Structure formats: C-alpha cells, structure tokens
Structure 1
C-alpha cells in the first residue's frame, strides 16, 4: 500500500491511498488526517487497506498539493557515514557504531516543493537517503525483532549546508536549515519491499545527471541494526523516522565540489519506493 499526505480543497491535511494515478481519500472515509495519527492506531494500516479497497469516489493524483508523508514525528533520527564509500570520501573511518543526529520538521519540504539555498552559504549539498518509519513502538528492541517495528519506507534528500555542518564536531546546525531537505513523495508499506528494504538501487540525479548510484545492501548498519540501536537510548514511538544515510558521490567530495544552485532540479530514487523531486531556489 502507498499512502500520500496532501491538502484537501479546504487546505486541511488529508491522508490518501495512491492506486495508480488515482487517490482514495482515506480521511473522508473516517480515518485520521495524517499518517502520524494512523500509525498510532495498532489497527490503522489494516483499516486503511480496507478503506482503500472499498468502492467509491477517487481523486486524480495530478494536481494534488502534496505534503511530507509525516507531519510532526516525535523523533527524526538521521544517520551519518552509513555507507563505506561515503565515509571514505568524507575522510572518516567507517564508524563502529551508528552516528546519530536529529533532523527537525522545519528543515524539510514535500515532493515538488523547492528546497532553499540559505543566503549565508553557497555550500548546499544533496544526499540521497532511504527513510524507515516506525509503526510499533518499543525500547531495547532486539535486532532480530526490529523489522517488526518498521511500518514502511519513504525517501529523503538530506540537503546539507556543509560549511555550517563542519563549524563544530556536532553536525546538527548544518543539517537543519529551514526548508533545506525534501521528504516524500509517499509512504510505502514494508510488505511491498524486501525485508529491511535491502538490495534496492539508490540514486541521486542532479539536472538529469547521476551523482550517486549505490545499493541499500551497502549500508554499514542495516535498517534492523539502526532500529535496535536507536531504541537503546529512548523508546521509539509510532511515526518516528530514521533517515538511514547516504552513499558516496556527494557534492562536497567532488573535485571541484558541486553545490546546489537556483534552477537546479534534484531527484532521489530508490528502487520500488519512488522518486522524490525538488527544484532549488535561493532563500527569499
């Protein structure tokens, strides 16, 4: 099942199930208006499947104003240096433990919306990433049970302001500029993908040119390991998200560096999950 968040005609958040080029308005059929709310209900995904299969009116996907798949996740973990080649190009040794930092909802926009290069920097970089979304909460989750806690997956372009990222040993500043990242276009339930979303091609294309091209099997810490690790420090909640890291090919590591600029179009694709597309503009 593929779920999207969008604005209805009144401008209110709405949850829909995408079926081809059509969308079933799940909120109009009595379900929550957000994926966050749906996942807090243990039977929410089953109810969504039943509602999506029921006969009734459908909307055309074209023209809908999409929102990011999650509206206000309690936690959005981001993982650094999670592909060996990316760690090497960044001049870091492969980490012995997951490198965690936080990403805030104000730092991302939906599919099709513009990501913004801030006025204080020109070192605006792209990062193709897979997102794992938690469907069942828990603390101290064992790795062998961790995938039972993953409801599904989405895509992220972790736009990074590199000169701010490396102003200190903490990366959070350069990873959280307003509207610097993209998230979407939809949420894909885990049963539509291989376990742990492993073995899927992941790419970033900038103006049609392939900049990153790898496979999710190349993660140093797979999805199950990340879920288990994150749950050691704090209880995971439904709707939490883990942005699982980027492969090699980022703009920072190129010679000369490649920075995002106004007029660019950046696309993130993961096999079976979809394509996230965002134009680039300067901050107003």
Structure 2
C-alpha cells in the first residue's frame, strides 16, 4: 500500500507535457541468439541484454529467437519487483534499462498522436504479418513504464504512457487497438490481443487488458484509463456467455478454439478477480460454471 500511495502522489504532481529523450538508447530488434547448443523449450524467455523469446516453429513457420516487446516489459517488471523486495540497485537499473528500450522502440502513428509496439516477426496462427501489434502487449508495457516512472521520477515515461493510452481510442483499421463488435444493432468496444480487422477476440488477453487499465486508473485517477476500462467491461459482460463451451470448458477465442487447461484456469482466476472488483453476478456465475474439482 505504501508503494501505491507514493506512486499516486508522484503522478498527481506531474506536468502535462514532457519532451522524450531516448536518442542515446539503441533502437531496433537486433537478434543475437545464444550459442548454447541445447535448444530451449518453446516460448522460453532467455535473459540477455534484451530478453529473447524462443518460438521454434509455429504452424510450420520458423520463428526461432525473437524480441517480444511484451516479454521485455515482463522482464522489466520482474526486475522492479525484485528491487522493491530487496532494495538492490542493480535490479532497478535493469528495470529502467529495459523500460528505456521500450521507449526507444515505440512506433509512432497518427501523426505522432499515439504509439504502439510492433512484433517484427509473423504470427501464423492468426495470419499476422511482421509488424503486428496488440492490446495485451500495450497494457503490459504501460504497467512497466508506470513502474519505471515510480522508481525514476522521470516524466518521459508518463508522456509515453499517455500516447500509449491514446492507441486504445483509435480503430484497428487506422493503426490503433480498438475495434467495434456489433450485436443486434448495438456497438461494443473490444481491445484485441491480436490487432487486425475481424480479430479472433481472445478472451484472456482482453480481460488482462481491462484489469491493467483498471490498475492504472486506481493508481493515477486517469480519466481516460477509467473510460477505456468501463467501455471494455460493458463489452465483456455482454459477450462472456459466448465463451462458455459447456461441461466446465471455455473457449479461448471467438473462433471456437477450446481453452487449454492453462488458459481455462486463467479465465476462472480472472473472473474471480472481476467479481471482487465489480460485484457483477455474471462474473461469479461463469467462474462457478467453469471451476473444476
């Protein structure tokens, strides 16, 4: 609680416009695979100057080692958590170093009004070409940059967070992270984990985005984050029944793919959290439907 209180105080005193200075940080996703002869497990994240994720072959396409911005943000957060627990300065430096890589590798769109982070490799399961983006990636980076601001008091991180939030207000067709799902003449907002027109509407990624938008709002009282969270929550309430596969199973996405045990358990845990946050009975209903003995 002390950590969040401090963060709140710091954010409330910030000015509205900051100049980013990331020119001294190297840009780009240069891959330097480890020389280890042992091939790692698929989806392993390997610590290096900038963390690498090993994908191997995905749907017959060799992806190999890549820099995944989401996993860079996760490693930045991991370092900040360790710094909080131990006070060891090397962890803070590591967290900030990775946060600065994220700043330097943001892609500006919409005449510079918003930013996204691109994956410089394809994702065959959803027919995404190199350069694709996504809301889960964006929300995780926002969280990492929030911690970078907390521990550095450098307002360049807040400027980037603001531009990151703007992406959730821009339609996917215009390079943003927002799409409209229409049902019976009513439009609902969705922030797709895999940003494309007619996306797969992955459930766990969307819920994680909502939770992180809510976290940021609670810490900062940022009205845009609150609005984005509430709009997405309304959509989730409407579409959640569509993800019920029966027999204590859930769908991973709107394409009819059944969630594996890992993601199904994640769905249950997420619904538990959402019920605690909102007290909306639909989250309790489907949590209990999907819980397994």
Return the TM-score normalized by structure 2.
0.21
- Structure with more of its chain in strand, by fraction: 1
- For CA contacts below 8 A with separation 6 or more, give which structure has more relative contact order: 1
Q: Normalising to structure 1: TM-score of the pair?
A: 0.21
Q: Which has the higher helix share?
A: 2
